[in-house]
A and B are shown apart, each in its own frame.
Chain A
Amino acid sequence: MDVKLTINNTPITATPGQTILEVARQNGITIPTLCYHKDLSPVGSCRLCVVEVEKWRGQSAACTTPISEGMVVHTESPAIIQSRRLVLELLLQNYYDAGYAMGDRPQDNEFIHWVEHYRVTAPRQAQPRFAVNSDPNPVVWVDFNKCILCTRCVRACAEVQGRFVWGVAERGHQAQIVAGAGVPMLEARCESCGACVAYCPTGALDNRMSVGLGAADRKVLTTCTYCGVGCQLDLNVKDDVPGGRVFRVTSNPNAPVNGMHLCVKGRYGYDFIHHPDRVLRPRVRRYLLQGLPRPEHDRGEWVEVDWDTALGIAAEKLRQTREQHGPDSIGVLTSAKCLNEENYLMNKFARQVIGTNSIDHCARL
C-alpha cells in the first residue's frame, strides 16, 4: 500500500516505512542534514533537518520521522529557516577553524556548506577549546575544535568498521568525542581504517598525510592494489608536477564492493607510488655491456641504460637461452599485482614466444 503525502505543496506517493527525509531526497527536494548519513543509523540529534508537518505540534526531524497517509510537510518555511539558522549559529559559536586546511576538501565540509547556504555568521569569534592535532595516530588527524558532535564518527566506527573506538564523554556543554576512555586512538584498538574521517562532515577528523596540501585537481576512481576484496577508491591527484602526483585517497560512495569503506592500506598505503626508491630508468649489469661472462657470484654493478639497450640485451639473452637449451629452460613468473591484460600477455609470452608452459605467479605463496 502506497502512502500519499504532500511536500512543499507537491503531492507525492511513497512507500510505507520511509522517513520524510528519504522521500524528499527521492523526489529531488533538498533538506539539509549534518548528523544524518544514509549508511548510518539515524539519531536525529543535530536538528538541522527539521521540517513542519501541518497539524503537528512543533518541528520534526525529517531523518527520523516516518511518513504517514495525508501528511502535509513544509521544508523551507520562514520558521524552519529560522530554526536552522539558530542551530548553525549555536554550532558555529564553538567551531574554531585554525585555518591550516581551508583549501583541502572544501566540498566535503558539509557544516560550512550549510552555514554559507543560510548566511549564518558567528555572534562572536570562537575560541580554541582543544589542542589542534590532539591524537598521535600516524594517519588520522584529530582537531576537535572543528567537531560539532554529530557522532557520525562514533556510528561509522561501530556500524561500518565494527571496532567501537569512538564514544561521547561528559554531558551538555562539556560533551566531547573521545577514543576509548579518553586515550589515544591506537590504544583504544583503532585499526586506522579512516572510516571516521570519511564520514566526518567538518574535517575535525582528517587524513593526516594530506592535511594542508590543498584541493585535488582531479579525482580518479580506480581499484585498490592491495587485497582481493577489490575495493574502489578515488585517487586525488595534483597536477603541479609533470604527469601529476597522488597525494590523497578518498572514498567513492559508488564503489560496488565497499561503498565509503576502505581499510588502512587502501586509504593510507598509497605513498609508495612516489617513493624515491622507485626504479626510473632501466638497469643492466656492467658485464653485459662489456660483453663479458657473468662474474661467478656477485653479478657486478648496475649501469643505467636507455630502453633500447636494456630490451635488446634482455631479448637477445632470452632468445639465445631458448636456442641453446630449449624452451623449457626459461621460466616466466607473472604477477598477481598486475592487470588482467598484463597477465594475459605474460601467458602469451611464455607459450607463444618461448614455447613453454613454465609460467606461474605467487598464488601459492
Chain B
Amino acid sequence: MSNSMDDVANHAQALLIIGSNTTEQHPVFGSMLRQAVLRRGAKLVVADPRRIDITEFATLHLRHQPGTDVALINGLMHIIVQNGWEDKQFIAERTEGFEDFQQVIQEYDPERVSEITGVPVDDLVKAAEILSLNKPMAVMWAMGITQHIVGVRNVMDLANLQMLLGNMGVLGGGVNPLRGQNNVQGACDMGGLPNVYPGYQAVTSAEARQKFEAAWGVPLSDQIGLTVTEMIPAAGEGKVKALYILGEDPVMSDPDTNHIRHCLETCEFIVLQELFPSETSVYADVLLPGVSFAEKSGSFTNTERRVQIVRQAIQPLGEARPDWQITAELARRILQAGPRQAQDAPYASWDYTSTAEIMQEIAALTPIYAGVSHARLEAGERLQWPVKDGRHPGTPILHVGQFSRGKGRFMPIEHVPPAELPDDEYPMLLSTGRVLYHWHGGQMTRRAQGLLAIYSESLIELNPEDAQRLGLNGNRRVRVTSRRGSIVAQAWITDRVPPGMVYANFHFPESPANELTLAALDPVAKIPEYKVCAVKVESAT
C-alpha cells in the first residue's frame, strides 16, 4: 500500500474497491472501511462481478464482467477527461506520457465500455463523478485485479487513474494493494523473488550483485530465476531436479492440480519444511518439522509496509525447530561439504544466535530496512519502510512530492480478453478465491475446530437462474468440470454470483478449485489467471 489503513479509513472522501472481497479477506480493514462509510459518509464504489458483502455499504456497485477491468478503468478515465475532472496541475508537475495515454483512453467511450463490461452507461458516469469529485480518493485492490493474464496491466491502469486524479502522495489517497498473506510483503521485501535481492535490488544490476558478492563471499548468478509458476512445471520437464520448500502447499495453491501432481512426482528430490503432512508432503522425500508463529520470535511486515514484532509464546512442540535454525543448519552443512565455498566476508557466515542478529544483517544490506531493528520494535516504535537509518521514523505515505523514478509515467493500456472464456462445451465462467472462515490451502484453518464448525465443506456459489436451468431441485450437489479436471461439491444457490458464473474456493482437498483452474500466466508477473476460466456445471446425483 502506498498509504496506511487508518489514513485511508479516516481521510479518504471516496473509496474504490476493485477486485478485493475486503470484509472477508482483510476483515479488520474491511470493518474499518464500513465505518468510514457509516460514520463519515465516505462514498464507496465497489467494482466486482460478485455481490460481495461490502457492496451493502456501497454508494454504487459496478458489476462488470470478469476480466474486463482495463476496459472499465479506461472507460472511467475517458469520462473523467471528457468532463475536465482530471487534476491538471498534478499531471503537469508530476507526470509524463499523458498525451500517448490520452490517445488510448479516447477509444474507450462509454458505449463501447458498457458493451465490453456489461456495466450500464449511467453507472459508468455516476462512478466517474463520485470518484473524481470526492477528493482524496483511495483505491484498494487484491487478487481480483492481479490474478489475470493482464494482472500487471490492471495494476498500471489503476496507477494511471490515481495520477489522473492527483491522488498520489496525499493522506486518504494512493494505490493500495491488500496483501493476502500475513508476511507476503516481507517475503517480497526479503528477496524471496527470482529477480531481486532483499529490498528490490535487481539481480541483473552489476552494482547490486557486487554488493551481495562482497557481503556473502561468493560469486552470484546474474540470471533471473524461475517463478513458482515456472519452477514446478520445470520440475515436470526434468529441468529442476530438486526443490526445497518452506511452508507452502503447491498441490492446493497452484493452478491445474493434476499437472502440479505430475510435476512433483517427476521431481527427483523434495525437501519440505512444514507443520503438517499436506497434499504436497505426499511428494516429499524429507519432511522437516518447522514451527507455528507462536513458537518463534522475529518480525512480519504487513500490507502497509509496517514491520511488526512476532514474539515466541510457547516452546517448539516435540522436536520441531524454528524454521530459521533449520535453514541455517542446512546451509552450514552444504557449504562445509563443498566444493562451493564462501570466502571470508562480513555476512558469509550462518552462525546466527537469534533472529535479532539476522535483522542486523538485513538492515546492513537492505536500504529500505536500514533503520529497522528488533530493539526499536521492542521499544514500541511503529516503523513503516522505507526506514532510512536508526533514527528515521519510517514512511507512512509513499510518493509524497515525488515518485521513486522521479516523474510518474502514464502507461497506455489496452483491454485484452481473458485466456479462456466460456464456449459451447464449457459454457460457464469460474472464478476462484477464499472465504472468510478459511485460509489458503486450508492446512491451518481446517485444523481449527471453531472455524471448521462454521464452514465445514466447500461451497460452490451458483446463481438461482442457473440452478433452475440445471434442475437442481432439492439436490444441491454439483459437478464442475473444466478442460483440466473435475470436482464435486455442495452448491450455495445465491445471487452473489451473476447468472453464468460460479465461484469456488481452494480450501478443501475433497473439492479443490485448482483441479479446474488454468495455468495461463501474466507475461510479466507470471501470475495465473485464477479469476477466469471456462467450466460446465452439472447436477451430481
Chain A positions near chain B (C-beta within 8 angstroms)? 138-139, 159-162, 186, 191-193, 208-209, 218, 220-232, 235, 237, 242-246, 256-258, 261-266, 268-275, 277-285, 288, 294, 297, 299, 302, 307, 310-319, 321-325, 327-365
Contacts and interface: CB of A to CB of B under 8 A. Distances in A.
Mostly helix, strand, loop or mixed at chain A's interface? Answer: mixed
Interface stretch (B41-49, B235-243, B480-488): B235-243
Contact of B218 (A313, A352, A357): A352
Interface string B307-326: 11111111111111101101
Contact of A288 (B286, B293, B321, B335): B286
B183 A339 contact: yes
B294 A246 contact: yes
Interface stretch (B80-88, B336-344, B414-422, B468-476): B336-344
A279 B269 CA distance: 20
Contact of B254 (A231, A317, A365): A365
Interface string B195-232: 10110000100000000100011111101111111011
B243 A331 contact: yes
A311 B333 CA distance: 8
A357 B221 contact: yes
A147 to B, nearest CB: 22
B185 interface: yes
A346 B186 CA distance: 12
Interface residues of B, number: 155
A314 B304 CA distance: 37
A269 B445 contact: yes
A226 B449 CA distance: 16
Given A223-B308, A264-B27, 13 more contacts: A193-B27, A224-B182, A235-B313, A262-B28, A274-B317, A277-B447, A278-B320, A279-B276, A282-B287, A314-B286, A318-B269, A319-B334, A321-B241
Contacts of B437: 192, 264-265
5 contacts: A230-B303, A237-B313, A351-B221, A359-B194, A362-B253
Interface in B401-451: 436-437, 439-440, 443-445, 447-451
Interface stretch (B126-134, B164-172, B353-361): B353-361
Given A230-B308, A294-B285, A337-B182, A222 B294 contact: yes
Contacts of B178: 228-229
A223 B300 contact: yes
B293 A222 contact: yes
Interface stretch (B107-115, B459-467, B489-497, B525-533): B525-533
Contacts of B299: 223, 339-341
B449 A271 contact: yes
User: Quick one: which of B25, B34, B185, B308 has the most chain A CB within 10 A?
Assistant: B308
Contacts of B340: 322, 353, 355
Given A335-B247, A358-B231, A345 B311 contact: no
A353 B334 CA distance: 7
Q: Give 4 nearest A-B pairs by CB, closest first.
A: A280-B318, A230-B302, A243-B315, A357-B225
Nearest to B273: A335
A274 B448 CA distance: 10
B97 interface: no
A324 B449 CA distance: 47
Contact of A348 (B216, B231, B300, B326): B216
Nearest to A307: B319
User: Quick one: which of B216, B244, B247, B447 has the most chain A CB within 10 A?
Assistant: B244
Contacts of B348: 352
A304 B185 CA distance: 35
A341 B450 contact: no
Given A269-B451, A338-B187, A246 B286 contact: no
Contacts of A349: 244, 327, 330-331
A310 B286 contact: yes
A329 B192 contact: no
Contacts of B190: 334, 340, 343-344, 346-347
